[in-house]
């Protein structure tokens, strides 16, 4: 794989690579079907949720949060179908620290639950909670889940803005009640990456080395991926996020971006097959009725497509114009034609299409390509190029 990565040698400096535990792979918990669907205007129907879950399974996501059955009949249908599919990924349910939510999961036969409750003062005030009620709800809900044979991941909402003394007490309450995994949750993307790393280290110090620790981050300052990487450096075992970073406000940490960066830049082992990333990305985009930017990392349509003539002259040496091989994400490399094309672009496109075009015709073909691309404000199709080449060569 290293022969397909062409990054700066500066990444190998000790201060860049230090701090990561490379003895085991980072694992990924996907919440596209629940937190991702909170993106404004996005609604996944049960068939779409099932298709996305199957795509996530092929991607190698270890855990899929399948939805919130208590509040949606559509989620109930989707979760039931996903559970019956026999996927390799673990299927997890989402629950507030409320017995009714848990009973809905238990009735469906889900044996793993993420249980959430707000722990910051501002969130508790918004919900009309106080610290005593939070501790009581945590203890009672986790005990109820465990009593019914469920594995519990405790998820304190807005934990990055919570008072640390109280947060530590909440974590211990959850563990005492039977939770086996904990999360640090940056609910509104309020932490810089350095702050995330520091907090993860502190929480790890509270709970010891053996309790699996998750990080759930958001992208409000454009740092969702950086914060997730910082969490891994700080000692997080699991990264939670979504496909394409879909989610409320600026979205969640993008799982595939995090995985690519950890693997290529930090030499951290991951459990994800990035050759499946673009397929599952397309599924989520279609189901959510939206399109990601063509320049989006990992899954953007334009990452390995070149229009600029200056870049096209280097196209035969991928390492000259790309930091990693298109093969890593199963993307197509190709030349397209438009306003910014050059003579080499014309030559490469003619060779690609099997058109015998004399070198003496290249300049005229390029002039017509540029004129059409500029006047139309778009790229030139292969058929239009054939017509231009034929007209010039005639």
Q: What local confidence, expressed as pLDDT, does residue 175 receive?
A: 98
Q: What local confidence, expressed as pLDDT, does residue 15 receive?
A: 96
Distant-in-sequence, close-in-space partners of 125: CB < 8 Å, separation ≥ 6: none
Q: What local confidence, expressed as pLDDT, does residue 394 receive?
A: 75
Q: 29-40, pLDDT tens digit by residue?
A: 999 999 999 999
Look-up of token digits 């996944």: 44
Q: What local confidence, expressed as pLDDT, does residue 315 receive?
A: 94
d(CA 247, CA 220): 11
Q: What local confidence, expressed as pLDDT, does residue 71 receive?
A: 77
Q: What is the DSSP string of 17-80?
A: HTT---SS-BEEEE-TTTTGGGSTT----HHHHHHHHHHHHHHT-SEEE---GGG-HHHHHHHH
- Count the Cβ atoms, other than its own, within 10 Å of residue 119: 27
Q: What local confidence, expressed as pLDDT, does residue 305 receive?
A: 96
Q: 114-163, pLDDT tens digit by residue?
A: 999 999 999 999 999 999 999 999 999 999 999 999 999 999 999 999 99
What is the helix (H) or strand (E) element at residue 114, kind and residue range? Answer: strand 112-118
CATH architecture of 2-15+24-288: Alpha-Beta Barrel (3.20)
Burial of 111 (0-12, 13-18, 19+ CB in 10 A): middle
d(CA 202, CA 91): 29
Three-state DSSP class for 276?
helix
Q: 50-88, pLDDT tens digit by residue?
A: 999 999 999 999 999 998 888 788 889 999 999 999 999
All structural domains of the chain with their residue ranges: 2-15+24-288, 305-393
Q: What local confidence, expressed as pLDDT, does residue 393 receive?
A: 85
Q: What local confidence, expressed as pLDDT, does residue 70 receive?
A: 84
| Beta-strand pair 334-335/213-217 | unpaired
Q: Which residues of the chain have pLDDT under 50?
A: none
Burial of 205 (0-12, 13-18, 19+ CB in 10 A): exposed
């Amino acid at each position: 794989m290293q022969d397909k990565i062409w990054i700066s040698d500066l990444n190998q400096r000790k201060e860049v690579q230090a701090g990561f535990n490379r003895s085991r792979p980072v694992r990924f918990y996907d919440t596209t079907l629940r937190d991702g669907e909170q993106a404004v205007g996005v609604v996944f129907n049960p068939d779409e949720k099932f298709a996305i879950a199957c795509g996530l399974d092929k991607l190698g996501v270890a855990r899929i949060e399948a939805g919130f059955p208590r509040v949606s009949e559509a989620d109930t249908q989707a979760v039931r179908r996903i559970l019956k599919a026999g996927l390799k990924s673990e299927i997890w349910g989402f629950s507030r620290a409320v017995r009714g939510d848990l009973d809905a999961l238990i009735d469906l036969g889900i044996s793993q639950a993420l249980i959430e409750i707000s722990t910051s003062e501002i969130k508790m005030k918004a919900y009309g909670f106080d610290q005593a009620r939070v501790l009581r709800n945590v203890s009672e809900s986790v005990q109820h889940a465990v009593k019914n044979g469920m594995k519990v991941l405790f998820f304190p909402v807005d934990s990055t803005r919570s008072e640390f003394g109280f947060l530590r007490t909440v974590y211990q309450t959850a563990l005492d009640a039977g939770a086996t995994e904990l999360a640090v949750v940056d609910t509104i993307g309020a932490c810089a990456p350095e702050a995330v790393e520091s907090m993860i280290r502190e929480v790890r110090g509270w709970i010891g080395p053996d309790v699996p620790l998750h990080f759930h981050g958001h992208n409000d300052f454009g740092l969702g991926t950086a914060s997730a990487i910082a969490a891994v450096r700080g000692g997080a075992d699991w990264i939670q996020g979504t496909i394409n970073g879909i989610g409320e406000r600026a979205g969640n940490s993008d799982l595939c971006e995090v995985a690519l960066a950890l693997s290529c830049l930090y030499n951290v082992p991951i459990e994800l097959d990035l050759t499946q990333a673009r397929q599952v990305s397309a599924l989520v985009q279609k189901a959510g009725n939206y399109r990601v930017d063509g320049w989006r990392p990992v899954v953007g349509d334009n990452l390995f497509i070149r229009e600029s003539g200056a870049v096209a002259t280097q196209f035969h040496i991928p390492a000259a114009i790309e930091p990693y091989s298109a093969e890593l994400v199963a993307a197509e490399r190709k030349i397209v034609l438009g306003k910014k094309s050059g003579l080499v672009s014309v030559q490469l496109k003619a060779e690609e299409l099997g058109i015998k075009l004399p070198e003496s015709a290249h300049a005229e073909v390029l002039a017509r390509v540029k004129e059409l691309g500029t006047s139309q404000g778009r790229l030139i199709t292969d058929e239009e190029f054939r017509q231009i080449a034929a007209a010039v060569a005639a």
